Amino acid sequence: MTLAGRIALVAGATRGAGRGIAVELGAAGATVYVTGRTTRERQSEYRRPETIEETAELVSAAGGKGVAVRVDHLVPEEVRGLVERIRAEQGRLDILVNDIWGGEKLFEWDKPVWDHDLDNGLRLLRLGIDTHLITAHFALPLLIERPGGLLVEVTDGTAEYNADHYRVSPFYDLAKVAANRMAWAHAKDLEKHGATAVCITPGWMRSEMMLDHYGVTEENWRNATKTEPHFVISETPRLVGRAVAALAADPDRARWNGQSLSSGGLAQVYGFTDLDGSRPDAWRYISEVQDAGKPADATGYR
């Protein structure tokens, strides 16, 4: 699998899924522009140590070329400038990954709309929906100049799962369902230009923030199962990265146009694995084991 010569933009690549996707696109040989709001000189309100420069360096170390650009995707002129820079430097855009989020500290679990902080909820929607639409508005015209482009919207939960499961709060629920619908809608427009749009969800991801939450590292992550047994199905951010890289390299990727996909589901199709050689199928596990009230056991699911 090679993406040599391909130009990708991973919007929201400071950490988590965005970083995992950027690194795997780089490992396949792509030039990857990585954006976010935290640099070595300036942090976002997250106050986290990860930076876009680190992500770009990981992309380059993996075999691609990483280019870090600080962008607030809620500011249209910053996104316009980003796309103009890509056009000037590369003359093309082959892959757009909309992974912008930033809402982890804003949602409140199991709070109805009248109890949830309104300002936080509305900002969560802006971060999870407006940013994606603003980025698509400016970047897709460049992507469709050549046939074969790929748009990937990143969310939490497959369309099938989210359709009949209440996700955390009305604000979070709407933001995550919206990404699935955006991909479906963009697919209608993009197919006329020979481009493909999909929505993808990782499973229970061992992001930097999740590892910190459980007080573990990637090396000893299984210790977290003492607190949360179902964490046994978790995956690294690189699994969803490998899913996106496989999609981008698939000459028949248009067969997925408009669909809701998962990292675990695509691993079964394309044959890639997580870093430990396993293929965790988190959303099937969540439905058949966790939600069914069965004891935690990933046998047959990874």
What is the per-residue pLDDT for 47?
A: 85
Round the average pLDDT of the chain to a whole number and report it: 96
Give residue-wise pLDDT tens across range 43-92. 888 889 889 999 999 999 999 999 999 999 999 999 999 999 999 999 99
Task: For the beta carbon of residue 226, count every other beta carbon within 10 angstroms.
Answer: 10
In the chain, which ranges are E strands?
7-11, 31-36, 65-70, 95-98, 150-154, 196-201, 260-262
pLDDT of the residue at 42? 87
- pTM of the entire structure? 0.96
The answer to whether the CB of 3 falls within 8 A of the CB of 28 is yes
For 218-272, what is each residue's pLDDT tens digit? 999 999 999 999 999 999 999 999 999 999 999 999 999 999 999 999 999 999 9
Residues in Cβ contact with 256 at an 8 Å cutoff, skipping those fewer than 6 apart: 196, 198, 247
Could you report the per-residue pLDDT of 6-50, keeping only the tens digit for each? 999 999 999 999 999 999 999 999 999 999 998 898 888 888 988
Q: Average pLDDT, stretch 121-139? A: 97
206 by Cβ neighbours in 10 Å (0-12 / 13-18 / 19+) ranks as buried
| Amino acid (one-letter) located at 107 | F
Q: Locate tokens 């170390």: which residue?
A: 61
Residue 44 is predicted with a pLDDT of 83
Q: Say how many C-beta atoms besides its own lie within 10 A of residue 128's C-beta.
A: 24
Q: Which of 233, 246, 300, 298 is nearest to 272 (CA)?
A: 246
Band (pLDDT 50/70/90 cuts) for residue 147 is very high
Determine how many CB atoms are found less than 10 A away from the CB of residue 124.
25
